[in-house]
Amino acid sequence: MVEVSFELVGVAISLFLMAFFIFKQRNELVEVADDLDVRLEEMQKGLEVVATVLQRIPELVPQFSINQSPIAQILEFIQGINNPEGSYPDTQLRDPSGRFADGETEETEAPE
C-alpha cells in the first residue's frame, strides 16, 4: 500500500510538472503570437500608406504631351544637312554689293 502511494505521489508530481511546463510553453506561445499580431498590424498600416501613395501618383506626376514625333525632328535635321542651301541661307544677309548687312543702312552725318 505504501508502495502504491509513493507511485501515486510520483505520478502526481510528474503530472504537475508537465502541466506547469505546458502552461509555461502556452504563455510563451501566446506572447509570440501577440508579438506577431502587432508586427502584422504594423505591416498592414505600412502597406495602406504605400497603396495610398501609389493611387496618388497620377496626381503627383506632371502631365505633358508632345505634339510632334521625335523621329520627325531627327528627319528634318538630316534633311537640313543634305540641303545644299541649308536651313538658313546666308544670301539673305548680303546686300547687292555682296557685303553682309542686316537690312539697315547706316546714315552718315553730313559735314556742315
pLDDT at residue 99 in the model: 74
pLDDT at residue 103 in the model: 57
Task: Give DSSP secondary structure letters for 37-101.
Answer: HHHHHHHHHHHHHHHHHHHHHHHHSPP---SS-HHHHHHHHHHHHH-SS-SS-GGGGB-TTS-B-
pLDDT at residue 107 in the model: 56
pLDDT at residue 106 in the model: 59
Q: Is the pTM of this model over 0.85?
A: no
The rounded average pLDDT for each run of 10 residues, N- to C-terminus, in the chain (112 residues) is 73 87 87 91 93 86 72 79 56 68 61 58
